[in-house]
Amino acid sequence: MDSTIKLTVSHAPFWHNGSGISQKSYNILLACLLAVIPGIYRYGYPALGAVTLSIGSAVLWEFLMNLATRRPVSIGDGNAAVIGMLLAMMLPAVVPWWVVVIGSFIAVVIGKQIYGGIGGNPFNPVAVAMAILMLSWKNFLDFNTALVGYGFAFNPVDPLVLAKSFGPAAVKDFKLGDLLMGRQVGGIGSSFGLGLIIGGIYLMIRGFIRWEIVLSFLVGIFASALCFYLYNPNVYASPGFHLLTGYSLIGAFLLATEDSSSPVHFLPMIIYGCLGGMLTVLIRNIGSHVDGVVFAVLIINILNPLLDKIRPKALGKVAHHA
Amino acid sequence: MRRRTFFGFVKSKLRYTTVDETLPEPVAVAPSERVTLFFDQPYIPGEKLSLHPGDPVKKGERLSLTKDAGGYALAPKSGRIENISGFLGIGGRRFTTVTLAIDDEAHQTLDEGFKSVYQSPSLKNAREFLAGLPGKPNLEVFFNPQRPVKSIVVLGVDSDLVGVTNQYFVNNAIVAIKTGIDTLRQISGIHEVILVVPHYLFKVAGAAGATIKTVDSAYPSAHPELIMRYILSEQSTPDVEPPSDDGVAVFTAEAVVAIGSAYKTGFLPLEKIVCFVSKDETRRLISVPIGTPVKDIAEAFHEPIGEGDRVIFGGPMTGVSVYSDNHPVLADTNTIMIQDRRRIPEVRDNPCTNCGACVRVCPVNVPVNMLIRFLQAGRYEEAVSQCDLNCCIECGFCSYVCEARIPIFQYIHLAKLTLAGMNPVEKNNG
């Protein structure tokens, strides 16, 4: 049985469908551009600077952590770039540079790398970073104060703030079509709803994000906002308004669907998404924060391991009765 | 390498190859100088064997390593024993190989052992002569008094992709299958025979005179273990773990045809139908004597096997890549694939990213995303108790779709082997 040539020997299977982490990351980045480019168009160079700084510093933090932990360099998989991109999308355009760098540090190092890198993080790294930034440097992240230097053709006040402080009557000038087209102040890549929706649908069709989570998250927002709205339309804004303002869409498409911190079985995904949507509206309508998406995502991330225990019985397995 | 579909939200589907796509008639390929036979016994140098280098061997002769050994092989050609040595297979399984230098076609001599008994078919002489036939019929199941056989399952499907051997027999030789089934009924006295075929062969299969069950065309529905679980769950009480295959004897369509033909003609069929896939993925159906080295088959089709290429026995999902171009066709080899070294998909040591692709494709609902975490950490007992490791049917689909390119199937295999190796030790100590 001697062989004259050296053959490659490895374990089955010998085919692969060709998917890869970097392929997924680059597709997500591509989809994000649909929302980011209109943002850069609207907010100009500061927005471009924030996006590039955020992606660049996120990749750099990842690289430094690879060196520090003596692990293979993983910046090629594109996950750090996605984290940087998502972080920038949620920030106001004129945020100070050091806030961006600290944000990407929190996301990449504290949100992901200290848990062992990709796949190990219990929370969405971007949501962790945003939560810490929002609590620590409130003023820099408040869209009303941050974007004061711009002259917009629309009401330059964060619609969520308006609705929360003065009731839905104050935001009746915001038409849903305008909100969808991004005629509202907000993050660089989180206010142009149409781009997020098209990009998100692309990602869902390609299977890069799990459609179950996205849809149930949106349904969760819509249903619970509708309950509030029907209960008292003079105090609570309409469900459509909630869907198209703040971080609702970016949360549904890109934050809640982060692989490592979300469930994979069908029923858990639905519960996870619905809960996220409900919590978002609860925090917005009766909590003290203006936008609830980031905190809602963090809370459902905590529930993920528990939820994912709900799964179909394996074929051939027997329940052992005590 | 296969491409992922553009529409990734639908569950990945892999279709089985159907016989219509391949050549209708198999091309005969002959071994050039030697054939090699495998014996399921470890080789211990210096042990007294009943075979010796230099011994003459007749075509169709029963060869067993020791006098009292249960296992034997049938010599596919007459010739002389050239060499006896050991072989280490996948998962540390030890075999003994016997290489025969074969006589040329004009000087083939036939063994008459079976000729003297074939007119009185019985389980006893089937066990004595037919266990080495193509398709590797397991006739020992009829001789276990603890587990009397109640029904016979004939697999007219091929468990892995690409292979079409059994489908070929259903499509082209259903009469021969019927003869084989009738012979099996006659010698075993068991009347319940279930023939499992793909949907598209349902009409053809009706002529076999057995209960027909069909399976889906999507991988891995024709996996024997899955078929057994479904058939058994219809027949017996579920809630037995692992699903008990008590009372069922499983044969491939090829084995059934070989048994039927042996008793009909008195000659032992020793040619195996194999699907040979060359580097450019052309499929050829070939008929080749058991024991023929893969090198000879590749040469017959001018297919060079080069440094770093991969030679796969079995299908692309569950096969075994061999380390020698002298590796012979075995009695249960349905597919041989040559893969160019530039087309070998790479495997990486990424951690699981929890994307859930494996969970969506798993045919038996194993939580692969959790399982792989336990396996990578080497915590095999927890993998069994919390993640249903033992329910895995080893179809390899999870590795095929893994985005992080983790060799999940290899981890599963390793864990099962390790656990299987531990249990006897525990029993002895307990």
| pLDDT single digits (tens) B29-64 | 999 889 999 998 888 888 888 888 999 999 999 898
pLDDT band at A250 (very low <50, low <70, confident <90, very high): very high
With tokens 């529905």, the residue in question is B221
Strands B79-88 and B56-57: antiparallel
Region B143-163 average pLDDT: 88
Task: Please report, rounded to a whole number, the percentage of residues in chain B having pLDDT higher than 70.
Answer: 91
Under the banding of pLDDT at 50, 70 and 90, the label for residue B242 is: very low
Q: What is the mean pLDDT of residues A255-269?
A: 95
A contact test, residue of B7, B162, B365, B401 with most A CBs within 10 A: B365
DSSP string, A38-96: HHHHHH-HHHHHHHHHHHHHHHHHHHHHHHHTT----GGGSHHHHHHHHHHHHS-TT--
A210: closest chain B residue by CA: B9
Distances (CA, A) of A258 to A57, A114, A301, B19, B327: 20, 17, 10, 43, 47
Q: What share of chain B is helix, strand, coil (3-state, %, to 5)?
A: 35, 20, 45
Nearest CB neighbour to A17, from listed B12, B87, B226 = B12
Percent of the residues in chain A that have a pLDDT greater than 90, as a whole number: 75
CA distance B58 to chain A (A): 22
Record: contact A13-B396, CB cut-off 8 A: yes
Please give, rounded to a whole number of angstroms, the shortest distance from the CA of B154 to a CA of chain A. Answer: 22
Cβ-defined contact of A10 to B363 (cutoff 8 Å): no
End-to-end C-alpha distance for chain B, whole angstroms = 48
Which chain A residues are Cβ-neighbours of B357 within 8 angstroms? 19, 207
Alpha-carbon distance A282 to nearest alpha carbon in chain B (angstroms) = 29
pLDDT class of B11 with cuts at 50, 70, 90: low
Q: Smallest Cβ distance to B1: which of A16, A204, A318? A: A16
When scoring B9, B219, B376 by the number of chain A Cβ atoms within 10 A, the one with the most, hence best to mutate, is: B9
Residues of A in contact with B97 (CB under 8 A): 1
Query: Looking at residue A321, what is its pLDDT?
Result: 44
| pLDDT (tens digit per residue) in A5-15 | 899 999 989 99
What would the pLDDT profile of B168-185 be if each residue is shown by its tens digit?
999 989 999 999 999 999
User: Cβ distance A188 to A91 under 8 Å?
Assistant: yes
Whether B396 contacts chain A with CB within 8 A = yes
User: How many CB contacts within 8 angstroms connect chain A with chain B?
Assistant: 204
Model confidence at B1: pLDDT above 50 = no
Instruction: Give this complex's ipTM.
Output: 0.90
B344 touches chain A (CB under 8 A): yes
Q: Which of residues 2-31 of B touch A (CB under 8 A)?
A: 2-4, 6-10, 12
Cα of A260 to nearest chain B Cα, Å: 5
CB contact under 8 A, A15 and B400: yes
Tokens of residue B179, six digits:
């003869």
Cα–Cα distance, A232 to A235 (Å, whole number): 6
| For range B406-428, the mean pLDDT | 86
- Show residues of chain B in contact with A210, CB under 8 Å: 356
Is B341 in contact with A8 (Cβ distance < 8 A)?
yes
**Shortest CA gap B161–chain A (Å):** 11
The predicted-structure confidence for A36-60, as pLDDT tens digits, reads as follows: 999 999 999 999 999 999 999 999 9
pLDDT for the residue numbered B7: 65
- Which residue type is seen at A150? Y
Indicate the range of A64-78, A88-102, B86-100, B250-264 predicted with least confidence. B86-100
Task: Break chain A into its structural domains and give their ranges.
Answer: 21-140, 149-307
The pair of structure tokens assigned to B352 is: 């699981």
As a residue count, chain B comes to 430
Nearest CA in chain A to B398: A13
- Comparing alpha-carbon positions, the chain B residue that sits nearest to A112 is B353
Burial of residue B224 (CB within 10 Å: 0-12, 13-18, 19+) is middle
Q: Are A246 and A160 within 8 A, CB to CB? A: yes
B351 CB neighbours in chain A (<8 A) are 116-120
| 3-state SS class at B253 | helix
Beta-carbon count within 10 A of B427 CB: 8
Range A96-106 average pLDDT: 96
Asked if A15's CB is within 8 angstroms of B367's CB, the reply is no
How many residues are recorded in chain A?
Answer: 322
A192 near A178, Cβ under 8 Å? no
Q: Which residue has the tokens 């402080």?
A: A165
Per-residue b or e along A215-244, where b marks 16 or more CB atoms closer than 10 Å to that residue's CB = bbbbbbbbebbbebbeeeeeebbbbebbbb
Report yes or no: B281 and B318 within 8 Å, Cβ to Cβ.
Answer: no
Chain A nearest CA to B393, separation (Å): 10
Q: Model pTM? A: 0.91
Cβ-Cβ contacts under 8 Å, B356 against chain A: 210, 259, 264-265
A188 touches A38 (CB < 8 A) = no
Does residue B9 register a pLDDT over 80? no
Q: Verify whether the Cβ–Cβ distance B305 to A5 is below 8 Å.
A: yes
Whether B318 has its CB under 8 Å from any CB of chain A: the answer is yes
Pairing of strands B283-289, B271-277: antiparallel
Q: Could you give the CA distance from residue A191 to residue A164 in angstroms, rounded to a whole number?
A: 18
Q: Bigger pLDDT: B145 or A197?
A: A197
Q: Which of A2, A20, A205 faces B324 most closely, judged by CB atoms?
A: A2
Q: Where are the beta strands (DSSP E) in B61-139?
A: 62-63, 73-74, 79-88, 94-102
The verdict on a CB contact (< 8 Å) between A316 and B391 is yes
Minimum Cα–Cα distance from A120: chain B residue:
B353
Could you report the per-residue pLDDT of A155-194, keeping only the tens digit for each? Answer: 888 899 888 888 888 888 888 999 999 899 999 999 999 9
pLDDT tier at B245, thresholds 50, 70, 90: low
Q: Note the pLDDT of residue B10.
A: 65
